[in-house]
Structure 1
Amino acid sequence: MAQMLIFGMGYAASHLADRLRARGWEVTGTTRDGRAGSIAFADETAVLAALRRATHILSSVPPVDDDDPVLSRYGEAIALAPATWTGYLSSTGVYGDADGAWVDESAPVRGRRAGRNAADAAWRALRGDSHVFRLPGIYGPGRSILDRIQQGRAHRIDLPRQVFSRIHVDDIAGGIIASFRGPAGVYNLADDEPCHQNRLVEWGCTLLGAPLPPLQTLDEAGLSPAARAFYAENRRVANGRAKRLLGWAPKYPTFREGLANTG
């Protein structure tokens, strides 16, 4: 039986786990506290035993400051594990600001977060079967602009040249599953239509019959530092490599189809 060990059962990883279990896979995941159905990350005996059984290993755990906790604690064991496939969920943030230009996997890694850049490189080098998935903004059921509109937290920001890419959580799972039979390497998983964040807000308001938020400057919107950082980078993410080498294509190629399927 195919067995997946997932470090970090977050939003995207949990969605993948559900897809795999529906296909008959055995999936084991780690969490900080070892909540029901998972292994505590610090339980080395259980984690090492799971590594010995796993046919596939995935980490969705982001670096903390400049340290990747999975590699720091279990990197040597992962490198020596008998699995035939290894994956890591990275971020398109490793590309940094591209001033709205397209970036593919050949673009230099120059993101603002040194720890994320280093983790991306370390997972690429860890094993010959390593698959690194660089992801833009993730959305899906319970986590989309529709939720923010309904909660009164959506903003329209007056930055006309800002553009970004995104990916539906279903398409992350689809890309990972497609890679099980594809070559190792780095893959951008993004939809086909990068656009301004305001277009998502406007489309979401149309779907919900909600009024548009006012157009504001960043200062007027009173955004958190993390939210402001989103607008500090501007790029379009190309997904052609995953299409060519994995035979993958997004089920939701634009935000319009994706937002219609977040319920």
Structure 2
Amino acid sequence: MLILGCGYVGERVAVACLQQGMRVVATTRSAERVAALEPLGIEAVVVESPLQLPRSLLAMVDCLLDSIPLVRDGSEMYAPQTQWLPQIASHLTSVRWAGYLSTTGVYGDACGGWVDESTVCRPASARGRERLTAEKAWFDSGLPAEVFRIAGIYGPGRNLLGRLRAGGYKAVQWQPPHFSSRIHVDDIVAALLAAMHSPRSGRIVNLADDMPLPHADYVCELAAMVGAPAPEILTAAEGEAQLSPALLDFFRDNKRVSNRLLHRELLATLNYPDFRAAVPALLAGERS
């Protein structure tokens, strides 16, 4: 297993693969990450680009996960896959499965309606457009690639609990309500391993839980569940004036993400079908 860009999700996929007896090689751009990954049994290498990987290693890879983020160049961002994937694809001679971690942001705004894998993508943000570019690079690579469009990722060490407890969290009462979807990292890992063991080249799968919610409702209920201060609720006009451009981009993509294909082909049930089911485990993790 080769994991390109071994971050929050990639590390957990790597550990799951090791538990199944697989050898795992992972790339990172940071020596600090190598120090964190190697004690787990992951063979971590520091490279600026996959082009620096030895051809002998590429030829041995049978499964590959690309979780390399977009690259920021000043105020712009771009998908680096177009620079290296065409050059290494011919050396990946043993690959039987390749997965690319994309985002549900490629769909763009659906005015609060449902989107599924057949929905035409009309991304309004540069981030969404570049993720779509990376998806195309993988499907054009000639490799048996699948794409996973992931909703908001949360899990241990990556959630809103600390920000909510700190107080001052701001949510906006948009009209119409702004829906958001999310998924626990454990369910992402389970879905990726299921796909790896039942590959289907060209498949696109949304990874989202069973409960899209208006964002303001979500954060208010989550705060109440953990005893945090209630978020400050802004009007739409206040939100436009006070929120960062990145947050406003997020809120301009209003959609509910369907996970029917995920359930039909990969996971009949989720470990955490909604955020309510995950809160006890998140709290227990904080105490351990």
Q: TM-score, normalised by structure 2?
A: 0.83
| The one of 69, 84, 91 aligned to 1:73 | 84
Q: CA deviation at 1:173?
A: 0.4
Residue 89 of structure 1 corresponds to: 101
Q: CA deviation at 1:245?
A: 2.2
Would the alpha carbon gap of residues 48 and 205 (structure 1) be closer, same or farther in structure 2, given more than 3 Å must change? same
Q: CA deviation at 1:74?
A: 3.9
| The one of 223, 231, 237 aligned to 1:213 | 231
RMSD: 2.1
Residue 55 of structure 2 corresponds to: 48
* Unaligned stretches of 5+ residues in structure 2: 39-43
Percent identity over the alignment is 36
Residue 260 of structure 2 corresponds to: 240
Q: CA deviation at 1:251?
A: 1.4
Aligned 1:122-161 pairs, distance under 5 A? 122-152=137-167, 154-160=169-175, 161=177
Residue 215 of structure 2 corresponds to: 197
* Unaligned stretches of 5+ residues in structure 1: none
Residue 115 of structure 2 corresponds to: 103
Would the alpha carbon gap of residues 15 and 229 (structure 1) be closer, same or farther in structure 2, given more than 3 Å must change? same
Q: CA deviation at 1:129?
A: 1.6
Aligned 1:5-20 pairs, distance under 5 A? 5-20=2-17
Would the alpha carbon gap of residues 139 and 247 (structure 1) be closer, same or farther in structure 2, given more than 3 Å must change? closer
Flag the structure with higher helix content. Answer: 2
Partners of 1:146 and 1:259 within 8 A in 2: no
Residue 23 of structure 1 corresponds to: 20
Q: Residue type matched to 2:88 in 1?
A: A
Q: Residue type matched to 1:215 in 2?
A: I
Q: Residue type matched to 1:244 in 2?
A: R
Residue 183 of structure 2 corresponds to: 167
Partners of 1:101 and 1:236 within 8 A in 2: yes
SS in 2 for 1:61: coil
Residue 41 of structure 2 corresponds to: none
1:28-65 deviation per Cα after TM superposition (whole angstroms, max 9, x unaligned): 11111353342122374545333222110110113335
SS in 2 for 1:261: helix
Would the alpha carbon gap of residues 88 and 199 (structure 1) be closer, same or farther in structure 2, given more than 3 Å must change? same
Q: CA deviation at 1:100?
A: 0.7
1:187-242 deviation per Cα after TM superposition (whole angstroms, max 9, x unaligned): 00110110011222222222221221221135645322212221111001111112
Q: TM-score, normalised by structure 1?
A: 0.90
Query: How many residue pairs get matched?
Result: 260
Q: CA deviation at 1:79?
A: 4.6
